[in-house]
Amino acid sequence: MFKRSLLLGGLSALVLLGAPSCSSDKPCEGAETCACYANSTCDTGLDCRSNVCVNLSGAAGAPSSSFDAKACFACAESACASAASACKAASGCDTVTRCLLGCAADATCLANCAQGVTADDIAKSAQYQGCALTACSSDCTYSANGFGGSGNGSAGASSSAGGASKAGNGSTSGGSGSVGGSTGAGGSTATNPVSGTNWLSLSADAAPSTQGVNGKLGIEGVFYAYGDACSTPSMFWDPNIRCISGTMCAADANGVNWGVAIGFDFNNLASVKHAWNATTAGVTGITWKNYNSTNSMQVWIQNMDPSFNGSCSTTNCNINAPPDGVSTASPGSGLFTFANMVKDDWGPSASSYVFNPANVSALQFKVSAQPSPTDYMLCIDALGVIR
């Protein structure tokens, strides 16, 4: 499988670039970048990969011997024609794609690729990548690990209910996670947590309890995206790389247009949310690494409404009142401890509650609406807990 590399301070996805297609009006067969013959063979010197004839000797543009660029490109161009065309039509999508592919796992190079990239470029690249990861996984085999851990990407858990926002209820976007995704520290083998920072093992839009420190901390995690009613239609959620992008509507005086967010349920099993006891897990805070191409975000941790008695399968299980966390988090990385949090501001008439670490429901990475419509891009690269 194609595993996402960590882009330190840069873009959060290694996206794919299509190869030229055959110029004949009739579907070509046997020649380079053409369909394979009916018996799954090609002309001399070419190999059949995903029913596309490719030249595997000295494949140009491959960042390492483990990434068969030409086979991957040829498959993606054929299988993801619409997304490939959309990327080529965007002003900077093709350029940033070439830049990323040429960097391999060089973090400085990858970060430089992010300069001057628009949310539209990234969204189109992410759409192309998401299609290619699913349709061409056997041909796209470049691997790079993030945060010291590695593990096989697996089918992501279904995206489920959104979290609380100033508007009260979050609606979900996207759907089931697909193959791939990066893995945080700890890898695929279960390990014991340590004092200090423990990075969760991530696989696409999930933090499976079978991987790394997750299970030892009582975590069966699921990422998802949601937004206000006005911003949601244009929001693109890529569960493979935990990224949202699009254009937010302008904020309004009543807080109806509040923005967009990536949510994380700490204990979500088969789309049923359960309260997570951070106290029992010895957790005293949260840390993260993210890429945000537009502006600062807010990070809130929420309690489950006690009326659910610790188990909930509705759209929003959180207490409908301002949560706790940090009101301004700079792009790149951040953390907060439970002993040092602030309350979200929902106005003077909003009710409030005292945060209880033994009754945690969800985490919210929120990009707030601005005075005018705003392009945005937010990716969660890593998530950890502090003990």
The average confidence (pLDDT) of the chain is 72
Please give the domain boundaries of the chain with CATH numbers for all domains: 1-144 (no CATH), 171-386 (2.60.120)
* Least confident residue range of 39-53, 195-209, 225-239: 39-53
CA neighbor of 325 nearest in space, from 286, 279, 371, 356: 286
Q: What is the pLDDT of residue 206?
A: 93
User: In sequence order, which residues have a C-beta less than 8 Å from that of residue 311 and are 6 or more positions away?
Assistant: 272, 273, 274, 275
- Determine the Cα–Cα distance for residues 159 and 235; give it in Å rounded to an integer: 15
- Determine the Cα–Cα distance for residues 143 and 107; give it in Å rounded to an integer: 14
User: In sequence order, which residues have a C-beta less than 8 Å from that of residue 26 and are 6 or more positions away?
Assistant: none
| Measured CA distances, 40 to 54, 74, 208, 276 (Å) | 12, 15, 38, 51
DSSP string, 25-89: SSPPBSSTTSBPPTTS--STT-EEETTEEE--TT-TT-SSTT--HHHHHHHHHHHTHHHHHHHHH
The β-bridge partners of 289 are: 333, 382
User: For residues 240 and 25, which has the higher predicted lDDT (pLDDT)?
Assistant: 240
Which run of H or E residues covers position 112?
helix 107-113
Percent of the chain with pLDDT over 90: 35
Is residue 126 helix, strand or coil? helix
Q: What is the pLDDT of residue 83?
A: 80
Task: Answer whether 206's CB lies under 8 Å from 221's CB.
Answer: yes
Write phi, then psi, for 72 (nearest 5 degrees).
Answer: -65, -45
Read off the pTM: 0.58
User: For residues 65 and 244, which has the higher predicted lDDT (pLDDT)?
Assistant: 244
Place of tokens 């967010």: 261
Q: ∠ CA 143-149-153 to the nearest 5 degrees?
A: 55
Task: Answer whether 76's CB lies under 8 Å from 131's CB.
Answer: yes
Q: What is the pLDDT of residue 178?
A: 29
For 295-307, what is each residue's pLDDT tens digit? Answer: 679 999 999 999 9
User: In sequence order, which residues have a C-beta less than 8 Å from that of residue 78 and are 6 or more positions away?
Assistant: 21, 35, 50, 51, 52
Residue 263 has pLDDT above 90, yes or no: yes
pLDDT band of residue 222 (cuts 50, 70, 90) is very high
Residue 152 has pLDDT above 60, yes or no: no
Average pLDDT over residues 51-71: 49
